[in-house]
Amino acid sequence: MKVIAVSNYKGGCAKTTTAVNLAYDLAAEEERRVLLIDADPQGNASYILWRYNPNANTLCRLYGGKALSSLIRRSKYRNLDIVPSMSGLEQVNKESGALDPNELRRQIDNIADRYDYVIIDCQPTMQFLTISALYAADLVIVPFKAAGFCINGLELMRDYLEDAAQQREYIKDLQYACLPVMFNGRGKSINRIKKLAEQDAYAIFDTFVSFSTVCENAEDQSVRKPLLKHRKNSRVAADYLELTKEILSVIEV
Ligand SMILES: Nc1ncnc2c1ncn2[C@@H]1O[C@H](COP(=O)(O)OP(=O)(O)OP(=O)(O)O)[C@@H](O)[C@H]1O
Ligand SMILES: [Mg+2]
């Protein structure tokens, strides 16, 4: 089993879109057994993948002493389970003083035989839940808006990743790679962005995810679907499928 966290301290840079579509494509297209952990109190991934039930146990309960295995729910899709979130999860960040950020990986290791991939959708702040996800991850995907030619804003994230790699207990190597999203340029700008990333020594995925209004439509209350379910033939759905294959080539179990 491998754990993949999708994180950036920046808001609105397609973390949830990436986590949801990677999880779905791995499960539905690539036949892998996948668990998505929604570690964002906003609960956006849960909203898309899960039939909401306010009485269900969510990730909050992990920090009230429940085992992670008891918090797993079936998503709407085959091969894809979910540990949902809800707004009460924010309380965990506020009261995290006595909690151990290594606990999440410890708990994930207890269910390692049930899944090939665990995907964690993080919130856009570096609080306890996000640190826990970085401590748990074999690979961190850092999506960033690749509009224009800039790759600004990744330095701080790199510092957090380097700290996590040094401080966590369970796994030594932390791989990370930056994912250009909302890209609306052409071949030339792809090369330009890749060059800039290389100069600053950021690992970057080969896949660039295109800008598309299909993403917003897929989240609409009346839709709430992964991109392949909503618009199978869209460019952005194909981009996420390409990303999924690239990830399998980088971090196969
Ligand atoms: N490739 C894309 N093209 C255009 N819009 C996109 C793309 N990916 C995501 N979006 C839209 O951008 C918005 C933010 O996306 P998303 O919720 O995935 O970001 P996030 O990083 O998870 O946000 P937060 O920091 O609030 O958790 C959403 O409205 C989403 O539909
Ligand atoms: Mg999100």
3-state secondary structure of 170: coil
Query: Quick check: pTM over 0.95?
Result: yes
Number of the ligand 1 atom closest to the C-alpha atom of 236: 1
Look at residue 234 in the predicted model and tell me its pLDDT. Answer: 98
Look at residue 24 in the predicted model and tell me its pLDDT. Answer: 98
Residues 161-176: pLDDT tens digits? 999 999 999 888 899 9
For residue 87, is pLDDT > 80? no
User: Does ligand 1 have an atom closer than 6 angstroms to the CB of 236?
Assistant: yes
Residue 190, CA atoms < 13 Å, CB-side half-sphere = 12
Nearest ligand by distance to the CA of 184: 1
Kindly write down the DSSP assignment for every residue of 171-240, as one continuous string: -S--EEEEEEESB---HHHHHHHHHHHHHTT--B-S--PBP-THHHHHHSTTT---HHHH-TTSHHHHHH
List the residue whose alpha carbon is closest to atom 3 of ligand 1: 211
Q: Residue 210: give its domain's CATH number.
A: 3.40.50.300
User: Does ligand 1 have an atom closer than 6 angstroms to the CB of 72?
Assistant: no
Q: Across the chain, what does the average pLDDT equal? A: 93
Residues 204-233: pLDDT tens digits? 999 999 999 999 999 999 999 999 999 999
Kindly write down the DSSP assignment for every residue of 137-168, as one continuous string: -SEEEEEEE--TT--TT-HHHHHHHHHHHHH-
Instruction: Tell me the CA–centroid distance for residue 181 and ligand 2, in Å.
Output: 14
Count of structural domains, the chain: 1
Contact call for residues 79 and 32 (beta carbons, < 8 A): yes
Query: Hey, which of 157, 216, 234 would you mutate to test ligand 1's pocket, going by the most ligand atoms within 8 Å of its Cβ?
Result: 216
Give residues whose Cβ lies within 5 Å of ion ligand 2. Answer: 15-16, 44
% pLDDT > 90, the chain: 77
- Full residue range of the structural domain in which residue 17 is found: 2-250
